[in-house]
Chain A
Amino acid sequence: MSDVVEKTLTALPSLLLSVDSQPGSAKLSTSSKLGSLIRNITELTSKHEEEKLIQRELSSIKDQVSSPNTTMRQMKELMVRAIYCEMLGYDSSFTYIHAIKLAQQGSVLEKRVGYLAVSLFLNEHHELLLLLVNTVLKDLQSTNLIEVCMALTVVSQIFPKDMIPAILPLVEEKLNHPKEIIRRKAVLALYKFHLIAPNQVQHIHNKFRKALCDKDPGVMGASLHIYLHLIQENPEGYKDLTTSFVTILKQVVGGKLPMDFNYHSVPAPWIQIQLLQILSLLGKNDPGTSEIMHEILEESLRRAEMNHNITYAILYECVKCIYTIHPKSDLLEKAAKCIGNFVLSSKINLKYLGLKALTYVVQQDPKLALQHQMTIIECLEHPDLIIKRETLEILFRITNAQNVTVIVEKMLTFLSTSEDDHTTIDLVGKVAELAKKYAPDNEWFIQTMNAVFSLGGETMQPDITNSFLKLLSEGFDSVEEDRKLKVFAVNSYVSLLEGEPEKLPQRFLQVISWVLGEFSHLQQDVGAETVVCLLDKLLHMKNSTSETKTWVLMAMTKVCEGAACAPLVQSVCETYSSSLDTVLRQRAQELQHLSRDPALRARVLPPVCTREPLEVDSSLSFLDEFVSEALAAGAAPYKPSHQRQEELAQTKAVSYEPYQLTLPISTTAHTHTPSLLSISSSLSEGSADLSHKGGSSSLKLEGVKRVWGRGGYEAAQVETPSPPQEGGDPSISHTPPLTSEDTESKQQEQQLASSMFLGLDHSSVTLMGKGDSTPSWLKRKERGQTPLNDAQTFTDPQELTDPSPLHVVSPQFPQSPVIANGTSDTEAALALACLDTNRSSTNQLEDRGLSLYLPAELSGLICSEISVLCSSESLELSACHVHKLRSLEMIVFISNSSDNAVQQIQVQLHSEQLEVSCASESQMEEVKGHSVVVRQYSLRVRKPSVHVELIGTLFHPETPQNVQFTYRLPLSSFIRPLTLSTEEYGTMWLSFSNDTKQNLTLVHSENEGPLRATLNVLTEDLHLHVVEIIGMEAIVACRLLQDQPCLMHCRVHGDALAVWLRSPVPELPDCLIYHCQRALQGH
């Protein structure tokens, strides 16, 4: 029977096609059309002809796609041609809609081309994409595996954010599909959703765990993508999975996977690489977790025998991991050996990776660079520019005051040959940074900066010039040094202008004119008229831009003095006061007036050194009056651009849910309640931003804090052959005998090496840290700093006779506000209300003993667990944060466990998202032996985000490096209740425009209704204030420190709590929703 059907089916097409116009040739002709197109293109000689040909082609495609007689099959061929044209860069937007149609209506094969065309033509924000949603929905439900696969592929490629909720359940369902390929694609599709809209997939994190233990290793491998990303965002949240990842890696390395996964007989190398990346994220700064993975890392190193490219990939990842996690000396030693193999390899790719590994490592282990110094020198002369650049990167990181001249010279030589803009910009910035930090003297500094300006040209980052000019104008502590520097700069510029100023870039000319304008009076030998003459020369140069001319005119205004320059100035004024450029005209006028009136000039342009720093009113408060008048006159209030865009987006928002049946009007009592079904675009936009911020570059190892203590570091060093020492000693033991010529060049190289690696093995090296360790000659004047409080120093509790009464932070907090030590009673009440939930953390806090040092006025308030930030030698830094009603205080404990006092300790904190103000006046601290110093910082949110992070640096005079640490705290720490009445709530609600809607799961409790119970959980964890509960609805308010309100409207809807948040701050609702979800998950 089936045979018969089959035969009929095969016979059918020929019959049916004959009905079509020219059946058999249809396919041939279309495909040969593409063929002839390509043939024609290859025969063409000019871009212009190509353009003409493609335009012709496109117009013929246009005619055909719009003709109603075109079959889907022909459409498919047309699409391929359109794809080809689009790839060549020609717009074929008229085919987009047909691509969607093809995906909708075609048979499987045509559908595939349709989907392909859609994913190549459109982007996530394209309007037409909405038309695809239905097709994707249909295909996801198809019984045909291939259709499901296609739909998942297109979903992971492009899918409109707002439409995710529509297909999410279907994709989720696919996680349980019997076919592993479908499960795999579903996992990746969900990952894509997580990337663009993390809030919407919050609830399926558990399913990711399930995917991780899927019986098919492929699905497990796909889920690693997600975990890599999640752990990058929040390593703390996934520590419990460490053993699982280690077990998986163990099985993979042990060859437990099916042979299928082998690549060149290496078991699942890509999975291994990802696992190693995950482990390094988990083990970073965490001795406990690192401990778990030591064994498997060692095994990985051992198993990866050097035989194929891919094993090197694993080894490299392994080495990176070992250097990132908490150190273990014998592992480090093996890893260092491994890096050596890479660096010394004859394969150029491996050498490159070796150098890259070295750049990661040199900051922590400068000795390793010493070991390979000869290779590094060789690489400097390597024909491959990429290798050279990477070598310079290593040198940049080992630069110190002793070798700076040699290294900068090398960099400048490279720069003079480099043609690539990107490299130039990057390297110029580095040279400028080194020059500023380590310059041995004025002369060298000015000369180096001259080279930077002339090589950097116009592409240079503007902040280099700015910081250079700032440095010159602010000057240094010593007046004499200061004058010398400026005079030297003036001399050098005068001679440059006397030479060939035409060759200098515009930026440099601007710098020169500014410096001459400001400081030429310091140099007595050069008269004002000489300077004016030189400047005038610049005005006559053909290639001077009008911006440069403006700088020149301003410089002239400052310099012109005395009768000698008058005629020249007069002619300049005449030329430019009729210029078409208004700015130039303005400057010329100024020049004219000021040159005639020296008294006025002295008032308008006083010498830079006597100038007071300008105070800039960045809030533009002087405009307040004007604004209020305009408002009173009926002008619309100002809305920031993002708000305007959001409003626009809201008017365009589409509801993707089918319309519901019209119900009798009597049942729709709650007309004003927020609609559950439309997810506002502002939510997804905001959340996508968040995820991008977090995800972009966390694997970078630069600036990683030095993770191992002295012990491990030295142990590694003892067993390595002692590296050649500095000081012009060329007798390096392992150099093979050479011919005389070779020896000479070798010796040169070695001399270079000894000067370049100078100072690396001194304990006093100042390695490039994040903070600036400015050498003494560049000590800047300190500008106005307003001290607030004294830091509190305590003696060790052991020395106190009776330590017990000091337990100030105890759950038994007295009710009386008097004992709350100056904190207001509301604050105490807040503390009391939340004491129950925080009891556990309070207990832990007591265990540490550090809590004794909490400043008295903070006792009794909610306090986080004290966590160790970092340690260096005998110093240990710990921190916690304390919730005050008006602020969040961060307390840093610096404890010294040695017998000796440590002086001049400096802790600096900074953060992009927070404003940090320190409560103590002195920057430096002294910590006596066995005692603890407490520093208090108050934090304010500058830019809300789900978690905020502080980056800190500990400057410690006795160790060469600064220790870096990070401190993360959730945004919920900054949330405080906001007490207001229902009426106030109503007016505020209407005035806020940033909102987010989301459904939360309800908490069920025996004693109370679900709404009550859920609200209780939320108010306890997040410190919200419940304004009123009306039936199944509730309104809640809170504020973000200082005074940024956020209002919340909740309504019970079936099994979920529909929450609608509004705030004047765009990011706040999204962040708060996240924390609400977390709080409810915990229950």
Chain B
Amino acid sequence: MIRAILIFNNHGKPRLSKFYEHYTEDTEQQIIRETFHLVSKRDENVCNFLEGGMLIGGSDYKLIYRHYATLYFVFCVDSSESELGILDLIQVFVETLDKCFENVCELDLIFHVDKVHNILAEMVMGGMVLETNMNEIIMQVDAQNKMEKSEAGIAGAPARAVSAVKNMNLPEMPRNINIGDISIKVPNLPSFK
């Protein structure tokens, strides 16, 4: 399970922090500081894994990070997650941000912190990996953005109009899977009650 996702810049300024477990405000800040301290002093040519920050759960936990230009992306996970899998998940996350913001940079993360959180929510839900396919994530986020535009157009309009738009269901979001072919049929399952 993913316990926390942190993004901070080269100076340790937090740009995004998402904790999937409860910590007090002070502990969260301390975790960010300690993580930055651990990560920042590592060279470029060492491995991307770190073990055992004292604060975030001790030896059962791993920090997996990537450094892009001015930003560090750090995932704090427990021992059940695959290290390399998470490393590629970070890559997917960054590529997705790049697509959504068109050449993402640190400022995008600052000014659109809510959007970044929404993108993240499509990838990781409650600490579990939900979606790893970039196109699918972008499709979900776009669908919500469309909503945003249509909403912006009717802000303050009579309530009837609002509810009319709300009740128009979103256009289908087809996922190009050919349901007929995939045949994830699971044989020999006991019958369902």
Contact = CB atoms under 8 A, between A and B. Distances in A.
Contacts of B154: 9, 12-13
Contacts of A627: none
A422 interface: yes
A351 to B, nearest CB: 7
A422 B48 CA distance: 18
A756 B149 CA distance: 68
Interface in A460-507: none
B125 interface: yes
Contacts of B58: 422
Interface in A189-214: 189, 191-192, 206, 209-210, 212-214
Nearest to A317: B82
A259 B175 CA distance: 11
A80 B116 CA distance: 12
Contacts of B175: 180, 216, 218, 260
Nearest to A83: B113
A348 B44 CA distance: 11
A684 B133 CA distance: 36
A1022 B49 CA distance: 49
Given A87-B16, A225-B128, A422-B58, A31 B111 contact: yes
A386 B49 contact: yes
Contacts of B29: 89
Contact of A125 (B16, B22, B80, B176): B22
A204 to B, nearest CB: 11
B108 interface: no
Interface string B127-171: 011111101100010011001100111111100011001110110
Contact of B157 (A12, A20, A244): A12
Interface string A405-429: 0000000000000001111001000
B186 interface: yes
A27 to B, nearest CB: 9
A699 B89 CA distance: 21
A13 B113 contact: no
Contact of B169 (A145, A248, A251): A145
A116 B54 contact: no
B176 A243 contact: no
B188 interface: yes
A185 interface: yes
Contacts of A251: 182-184
B84 A316 contact: yes
B75 to A, nearest CB: 14
Contacts of A306: none
A549 B88 CA distance: 55
A348 B128 contact: no
Given A109-B148, A215-B184, A80 B82 contact: no
A108 B155 CA distance: 11
Nearest to A108: B147
Contact of A16 (B28, B155, B167, B178): B155
A263 B47 contact: no
B70 interface: no
Contacts of A124: 22
Nearest to A20: B156
A119 B84 CA distance: 28
B192 A206 contact: yes
A348 B182 contact: no
Interface string A137-176: 0000001111001000100110000000000000000000
> For chain B, what secondary structure do more than half of its interface residues adopt (helix, strand, loop), or is it mixed?
mixed
A521 interface: no
A527 B171 CA distance: 93
A84 B16 CA distance: 9
A273 B85 contact: yes
A1045 interface: no
A259 B47 CA distance: 31
B45 interface: yes
A352 B169 CA distance: 50
A38 interface: yes
User: What bracket does the count of chain A residues touching chain B fall in?
Assistant: 35 or more
A957 to B, nearest CB: 33
A257 interface: yes
A260 B177 contact: yes
B10 interface: no
Interface stretch (A307-315, A606-614, A704-712, A743-751): A307-315
Contacts of A10: 153
Interface in A362-392: 383-384, 386-387, 389
Given A313-B84, A349-B49, A270 B129 contact: yes
Contacts of B84: 309-310, 312-313, 316, 349, 353
Contacts of B176: 258-260
B43 interface: yes
A209 B192 contact: yes
A35 B108 CA distance: 11
B25 interface: yes
B184 A248 contact: yes
Interface string B45-65: 111111111100011100000
B114 interface: yes
B59 A144 contact: no
B135 A260 contact: yes
Contacts of A310: 84-85, 88
A526 B16 CA distance: 64
A75 B190 CA distance: 52
B117 A353 contact: no
A577 B181 CA distance: 88
Nearest to B134: A263
A696 B177 CA distance: 36
Interface of A: 5, 9-10, 12-13, 16-17, 20, 31, 34-35, 38, 73, 80, 83-84, 86-89, 91, 107-109, 112-113, 116, 120, 123-125, 143-146, 149, 153, 156-157, 179-181, 184-185, 188-189, 191-192, 206, 209-210, 212-218, 220, 222, 225, 228, 240-241, 243-244, 247-248, 251, 256-261, 263, 269-270, 273, 277, 309-310, 312-313, 316-317, 348-349, 351-353, 383-384, 386-387, 389, 420-423, 426, 696-700
| A-B interface, 4 closest residue pairs, ranked by CB to CB distance from nearest | A313-B84, A156-B126, A16-B156, A123-B22
25 contacts: A13-B152, A13-B155, A13-B156, A17-B155, A35-B111, A89-B25, A109-B147, A112-B144, A120-B117, A144-B170, A146-B144, A157-B20, A179-B173, A216-B175, A217-B177, A244-B188, A258-B178, A258-B181, A260-B135, A260-B136, A263-B92, A263-B132, A270-B89, A353-B84, A383-B43
Given A83-B114, A84-B113, A277-B82, 14 more contacts: A84-B110, A87-B14, A109-B151, A146-B147, A157-B20, A157-B126, A180-B175, A213-B189, A217-B184, A225-B128, A247-B186, A273-B85, A349-B49, A352-B47
